[in-house]
Amino acid sequence: MASLQGRPPWMANNGPAKFEVTRTVDMMCHPLAASLKVAGETADARVDFALAGLTGPIPEAMKYAVRGGKALRAFLVLESARLHGINSARAQPAAAAIECLHAYSLVHDDLPCMDDDALRRGQPTVHVKWDEATAVLVGDALHSLAFQLVMETEVDAQQRFILTHTLATAAGARGMVGGQAMDIAAETAAEPLTLDQIMALQMAKTGALISWSAMAGPRMAGDKEHQLRIYGDCLGLAFQIADDVLDVVGDAATVGKAVRKDQAAGKATFVSLLGLDGAKRRAQDLVTEACDALSYYGDDAETLKEAARFVIARGH
């Protein structure tokens, strides 16, 4: 086997390595800010562990791309898992997975041939800090890592299957990428989009991953996902309306990315179609609907309700 001496030791694959965590069962409801911070740190730690031993620009830029966000999606995974009796240690890989998938989409969306953005989360985008080829590969590697991680969620095989399969459909041509393609097509369309079309577009582009995150808990537990599906769908739309509002009223330094881009491009948005006040009211109605859907969980869901209110009150 002299011909194969070049095989690097890290190519051996004996299944996922063991990520050791202290298994405290934390079924307490915590304030939002603390929960988001823990979710972000959890995702970062998992990604670091998955990339341990790798050096060079790709793993370095992968960690860079995952860091510094709100970690809203990881939080939704951990919180919906907690509501369904799945402790953090078991849900952490899925939380890290959705942050990797989200980060890949941002890295690719920021490319010059896509939205051509130089600023993301208040930092230079990956293709600016490194280069375009690195950004393409970093997005691709984060995309694969998301599926590696979600498969490491410590739940029954059937539940892991549902989590992984729904993540693939939420991410692909029928979900996030489909929405992104509709968004690009809208830029050159003869007519601006209608409200229904924008809602369909945004529920795919932004909503699919947010809804997946909110439904992760019941899916891990094999429970009904109905309440958290309504919550996630409403939250995703409210989130996008808030983004459109921020694009009009925010400043780049606070928002952490370029603003006033939609207006300059003459794109139809929730604000252009509903007016600024109308868009804010619609977002508020969606948050109320999201919170109502959680009444089933009682006080236990307080942090998720706080998250819904935060989504439309945030400055970034």
Instruction: Supply the minimum distance, in Å, between the C-beta of residue 221 and its own copies.
Output: 17
Which residue, 35 or 80, is less far from its own copies as judged by CB? Answer: 80
- Helices 88-109 and 176-187, axial angle in degrees (round to 10): 20
In the complex with its own copies, which residue's Cβ is closer, 32 or 62? 62
In the bound complex, what is the minimum distance in angstroms from residue 33's beta carbon to its own copies? 28
Q: Cβ of residue 109: shortest distance to its own copies, in angstroms?
A: 9
Give the strand pairing for 123-124 and 119-120: antiparallel
Q: Which is nearer to its own copies, 37 or 197 (CB)?
A: 197
CA pseudo-torsion sign 79, 81, 86, 91: negative
User: Between 86 and 155, whose beta carbon lies closer to its own copies?
Assistant: 155
Residue number with CB closer to its own copies (6 or 266):
6
Q: How far is the CB of 38 from its own copies (least distance, A)?
A: 26
Q: What's the per-residue H, E or C state across 86-125? A: CCHHHHHHHHHHHHHHHHHHHHHHCCCCCCCCCEECCEEC
Least Å distance, CB 246 to its own copies, is: 20
Cα distances from 213 to residues 4, 60, 167, 208, 209, in angstroms, run: 42, 26, 9, 9, 6
Residue 123, beta-bridge partner list = 120
Asked if residues 282 and 241 have their Cβ atoms less than 8 Å apart, the reply is yes
123 vs 197 by CB, closer to its own copies: 197
Tokens in use for 255? 């928002």
Closest CB 2 distance from its own copies, rounded Å: 9
Give the nearer residue to its own copies in terms of CB position, either 82 or 267: 267
Q: Please report how close the Cβ of residue 3 comes to its own copies at its closest, in angstroms.
A: 6
The number of C-alpha atoms within 13 Å of 161 and in the hemisphere containing its C-beta is: 4
Sign of CA dihedral 134, 152, 206, 201: positive
